Each structure stands twice: as structure tokens, then as C-alpha cells.
Amino acid sequence: MTTEMNENKEGKKPLNFIESIIEDDIKAEKHQQIYTRFPPEPNGYLHIGHAKSICLNFGLSENYKGKCNLRFDDTNPVKEDVEYVESIKEDIKWLGFNWEDEVKFTSDYFDRLYEFAVKLIKSGNAYVCELNPEQIREYRGTPKEPGKESPWRNRDVTESVKLFAGMKNGDFEEGKYLLRAKIDMTSPNMHMRDPILYRIRFANHHRTGDTWKIYPMYDFAHGQSDYFEGITHSVCTLEFEVHRPLYDWFIDKLADSDYRPQQIEFARLNLTYTVMSKRKLLELVEKKYVSGWDDPRMPTISAFRRRGYTAESIRNFSDKVGIARRNGFIDVSLLEHSIREDLNKKANRVMGVLNPLKVVIDNYPEDGEEYLDAVNNPEDESRGKRKVPFSKELYIEQEDFMENPPRKFFRLGIDREVRLRYAYFIKCTHVVKDVEGKITEVHCTYDPASKGGKSPDGRKVKGTLHWVSVKHAIKSEVRLYDRLFTVENPQADKEKDFKEFINKDSLKVIENAMLEPHLKNIKAGEQLQFERMGYFCVDKDSTTDKLVFNRTVTLRDSWAKVKGK
Ligand code: ATP
Ligand code: MG
């Protein structure tokens, strides 16, 4: 995806093309103040694509000391719900943005839209039509062939006014009548071929209840809502470019001044290894492929939050991907990079063993116990140190031990020496196995002179392992996530259902991870790095008896120089 930018005059900060338009408008004194809006439909939870649009719209208003509305485009009562309204508000606040005044709803404008529709009928620009959906399709024509005019197109104006009032009052069943704009059935732009403005719908609306029996189409409501609110720059995604002439047509019929909201289109954010349409995400939720909208594998803002992503990392990501005019895909690894970058500074380090293997230090005193200094964050000295208990029996990762390791395996093996982080050098002497031949204990000796993990005589070890003392360890559940889909674009093959590409191994639950006791005091929302294993946070499923952790993201680099694996 290419990002189109212009240098501004001072040559300091590159402007994206939307900022260039706005700066030109400011210079031309076109508006007193910049006014943008974020207009979600409350029919699902927000995803990372919406986050892009939020950062853009709210960001522009912040940068240019303007205003930004949150407006719910609630024109389709069948799919909308207050649960979604609440979640959307929460997500926007969490991202760090505030909307102007109270929240706006398109449904607040239902009366004004209705009045405008009546005005269109009276001025000969709209009519009540009786074609059924199949006929509408047939009369519409195709992009290559012109459409045909509806036989109801020249219906008497007073009759249309009367029928439209009847539609509003619930006098007719659903589907009996439609209100359509009278524009041009031969227009090369299909959206101009007498588009539908209103449909009869006996649906309960989450805000207006049963008041309305007719609902405006999105295309009829959207541009006018911008107009009613005094929006100066109406930023939307590319698919609405072809709708723009229609929006302009409506506003020309409505406006009594020169003021027009200016629509500017940019490319949708698409991310690899996921899907981003709310309809598809809803399907994953309803068919229980995931545990809910905030399942940490989902691309929703609530899922990222639960998984341990910070608002800052998402805002930085949004900044980095820039604003494009052509559709393309952004590699999910860019998002992962953003969160690593942020957590590297913020997260304290701790030790946690995900797949424990017991190590016995044979030359350590039977009841010995000592507390060793461990650094909380090597990136930030002010975070200080903590004490980590050490004893005769420890856990290390199963994958850090091999009975017969290849030469390039730099972790523990028989007769090999490694460093235990912040503790001692240990050397493996032998292993104990169960009847099935599975290793149950790795026996080692330690070098008391290497306390703190420092070499006593200049001798080097290649591997450094994390560990947890057996008798001090706290047991917890750890959830590891992989990408939800096995292919970059699960929607690329139109012949196939996107669900065929779901990654069956996208969630791995570890029941008995062993963590250093320091973690007993962890607070909800605190982010940590389990050394070598990634960044983690406490999940909302945690109870007083059992901590549950999510892995936010793996570490790209680990300090054990593991090669030849
Ligand atoms: P979806 O197709 O995911 O259901 P939508 O466009 O129907 O999304 P809306 O609630 O209408 O969802 O979106 C609110 C705003 O967010 C719109 O202005 C829309 O253009 C923008 N938006 C939606 N998806 C993306 C995306 N992937 N990238 C950038 N902006 C987006
Ligand atoms: Mg939409």
C-alpha cells in the first residue's frame, strides 16, 4: 500500500493528502473551524479498521483545534443494538479520544429527514413506487445498460405525498411501497438510478421504539446528517466515492447556503490473517468459532484490549500505516511490532515457566533458600529490583533441556553448563526417567561462586535460562494465541467460505504454568514480560483461586542465543 504525502511548506512534518486538503481550506478561510465525525453503525463491535478511522477523524480535529462528533448511523433497526452503542463508546474512550458534546444519532434526525423527503416529493424529485425487489433489480439495468423508468415514476405529487404519509403511519404492509428519488435511470452511475430513500419496516428501533414504520436508507441519511451537524470534512472509505454524486445531489436540493460537507475518501485498512467485516465477525461469534467479540484472537478493539494491547500501540500503528488512496493489505507483523515497542518500555520482567521440567540441584542444601536480586526492567533502571526465591528444586522449560543435544543447542544437556538468570551456573549430571522413559528430573550441580549468574573465573556459558523455584511457584493458566486464519487473505478465494481457513491451533491453553511468586500481587491490566516467552497480561477470567494469563505477543528476540533448533 502506498502512502501519498506532500511536504508542507516548512518541510518539517510530511502531510498526508487529507491534511493537505484541510490546510488548503484553512488558508482559503473556507471554514471557521474544522469539524469531523466518526459515524459507526451500531451493528457490531469496532475493529482495528475502525480504530484507523477513529484516530484519523479525532486526530484531525485535535491537530487543527476543531471538533469531532461521534454519530451513530442507526438507520437499520433490525441489526442494531444498545450493547453495540455502549461498546463503541467504551472503545473510543479507551483509545484516548473524546467526542464533541453529547453523542449524536442519525435517529435524532428522523423528523428532519422525513420533512426533507416530503419536500423532495413536493418539488417533483421523489415518488412513491410499487415495484417489488425483483422488479427494482430488473428495472435498474446494469453498469453497461441503462435502466428503465418505473411505471410509478410520474405518479401525481399529491398522491405520493399522501401515500408516503400512509407509509409513515403504518397503513401499509412491509414491501408494499417505497419512496424513491427521481434522478436518472440512464445514469452511468448506478447509485443515481432512482435510489430508494425509504422502506416500510415494522421493526423496533433501539432508540425510537415503535414510533417509526418507515426507515431511511443509509445513503439518504448519511450526507444529510453531516450537513445537519455542520461537518466540514466528511472522511470515509473508498467504496463511498461512487456515492458522492448522490450525496451532493441531495444536499443541492436541501441546502440554502453555500456550505457543503466535503467528502474525502481514503483506503480501508486491511490486515493480513484476519477478516474485518462486522458481518463476518458476527458470524464467528454466533457460530462460536470464538468465545465472543472480545476473544483475544479477534481483530476487534475490545479483543486487543483484553489481550494486552495498549491504546498507545494501536494509535502508533495507525500513524505508521498512514493514509492511502489505494486499497491494500498491511502485514499484521507491523501491529505486533507496535505493541512490542510499547511494552518493551512499559512492562516489567518476571520469570514464568510455561512447560515445567523439574531440576534438582544435588549440591544445594536440602532446606536451603535464598532471595536473589532480579532487575525489573533493563530499559528503565528506575523500576528497581525485586527478590526472587531460589531453592534446591526448580522448574525450567522442557524445551530448554535435551538429553542428547546437537552441537548447536546452547541450552541444558548432560555435561553441559548454563546460567540460570540472576542465580547461578548449573551443570547437568544425569536425568531420572519414569517407566515410560519420560524425563521427570534433571539433576545438576551448581557453582556457588557464580552467584548472581556471574562467571567466577571468566569461563563462558552460551545459554541463559529462566526458572522458578518449585516450592515458591504459583500455578496458573496461560493462553497462547496464534493467528485466527491460516492464510493472509481468507477472503481472496471467492469460491470458498472464509471459515475454511480458520486456524484450528489458534488457541493453546496451558493449565499448569509455574510463575515466580511475585506475580501474586499482579493487578488487572498490568502488563508483564515473561522473560524469553513474550508479553503477558491477566485475563478477565482470573479468579482469586486461579490466575489466567493471555500472551499479548511473543518476543522477537530472546536473550538465549538458541540456534540449530
Ligand atoms: P464493516 O465493513 O467492517 O462492517 P462498516 O463500514 O460497515 O464496516 P461502519 O460502522 O459503517 O462500518 O464504519 C464506521 C466508520 O469506520 C466509517 O466511516 C467507515 O468508513 C470506517 N471504517 C470501517 N471499516 C474500516 C477499515 N477497515 N478501515 C478504515 N476505516 C474503516
Ligand atoms: Mg458502513
The answer to whether 548 and 385 are in contact (CB under 8 A) is: no
The answer to whether 113 and 179 are in contact (CB under 8 A) is: no
For residues 35 and 67, give the distance between their C-alpha atoms in angstroms, rounded to a whole number: 5
268 noted as active-site residue: yes
278-348+476-564: CATH topology: Ribosomal Protein L25; Chain P (2.40.240)
* Strand residue runs (E) in 411-467: 412-413, 417-420, 425-433, 439-447, 464-465
Write down the pLDDT at residue 14.
87
Residues, the chain: 565
The mean pLDDT of 488-512, rounded to a whole number, is 97
Q: What residue's CA is closest to ligand 1, atom 15? A: 40
For residues 321 and 310, give the distance between their C-alpha atoms in angstroms, rounded to a whole number: 17
Say what percent of the chain tops pLDDT 70: 96
Write down the pLDDT at residue 44.
96
For residues 13 and 161, give the distance between their C-alpha atoms in angstroms, rounded to a whole number: 55
pLDDT in tens, 85-96: 999 999 999 999
For the chain, state the CA radius of gyration. 31
Write down the pLDDT at residue 413.
97
The mean pLDDT of 239-256, rounded to a whole number, is 96
Say what percent of the chain tops pLDDT 90: 93
In angstroms, the first-to-last Cα distance of the chain is 35
The mean pLDDT of 426-455, rounded to a whole number, is 97
Query: Nearest 5°: CA angle at 444, between 441 and 449?
Result: 150
Fold match, 278-348+476-564 / 352-466:
yes
Looking at 104, 278, 315, 411, which residue is catalytic? 278
Domain 31-266 has CATH 3.40.50.620: yes
Q: DSSP character for 205? A: B
For residues 504 and 485, give the distance between their C-alpha atoms in angstroms, rounded to a whole number: 8
pLDDT in tens, 181-226: 999 999 999 999 999 999 999 999 999 999 999 999 999 999 999 9
Residue 394 forms beta bridges with which residues?
Answer: 359, 469
Longest dimension (CA), the chain: 102
Task: Label residue 232 by pLDDT band (50, 70, 90).
Answer: very high
The mean pLDDT of 299-314, rounded to a whole number, is 98
Amino acid at 365: P
Write down the pLDDT at residue 10.
54
Write down the pLDDT at residue 11.
53
For residues 104 and 69, give the distance between their C-alpha atoms in angstroms, rounded to a whole number: 7
The mean pLDDT of 278-286, rounded to a whole number, is 97
The mean pLDDT of 360-388, rounded to a whole number, is 96
Ligand nearest the Cα of residue 49 is 1
Write down the pLDDT at residue 7.
47
Phi, psi dihedrals of residue 267, rounded to the nearest 5°: -75, 140
The pTM of the full predicted model, rounded to 2 decimals, is: 0.93
Ligand nearest the Cα of residue 73 is 1
Query: Nearest 5°: CA angle at 515, between 511 and 521?
Result: 110
* Strand residue runs (E) in 43-163: 67-72, 104-105, 126-129
- C-alpha separations of 283 from 80, 273, 280 in Å: 15, 17, 5
Pocket of ligand 1 (CB under 6 A): 39-41, 49-50, 52-53, 236-237, 268-269, 276-278
CATH of domain 352-466: 2.40.240.10
Q: DSSP character for 349? A: E
Q: Half-sphere exposure of residue 364, counting CA atoms within 13 Å on the CB side?
A: 26
Q: What residue's CA is closest to ligand 1, atom 23? A: 50
pLDDT in tens, 103-155: 999 999 999 999 999 999 999 999 999 999 999 999 999 999 999 999 999 99
Write down the pLDDT at residue 12.
60
* Strand residue runs (E) in 168-281: 178-181, 196-200, 214-216, 233-237, 262-266
**Which of 49, 47, 48, 50 shows the shortest CA–CA distance to 38?**
50
Residue 557 has pLDDT above 50, yes or no: no
Residue 103 CA to its chain's centroid (Å): 22
Strands 464-465 vs 214-216: parallel, antiparallel or unpaired: unpaired
Residue 447 has pLDDT above 80, yes or no: yes
Write down the pLDDT at residue 525.
80
The answer to whether 352 and 537 are in contact (CB under 8 A) is: no
Cα of 76 to ligand 2 centre, how many Å? Answer: 11
Contacts (Cβ under 8 Å, ≥6 apart) of 565? 409
**Which one of 237, 277, 317 would you pick to mutate in the ligand 1 pocket, going by the greatest count of ligand atoms within 8 A of its CB?**
237
- Residue spans of the domains in the chain: they are 31-266, 278-348+476-564, 352-466
For residues 19 and 17, give the distance between their C-alpha atoms in angstroms, rounded to a whole number: 5
For residues 190 and 238, give the distance between their C-alpha atoms in angstroms, rounded to a whole number: 16
479 noted as active-site residue: no
Write down the pLDDT at residue 275.
97
Q: Is 99 helix (H, G, I), strand (E, B) or coil?
A: coil
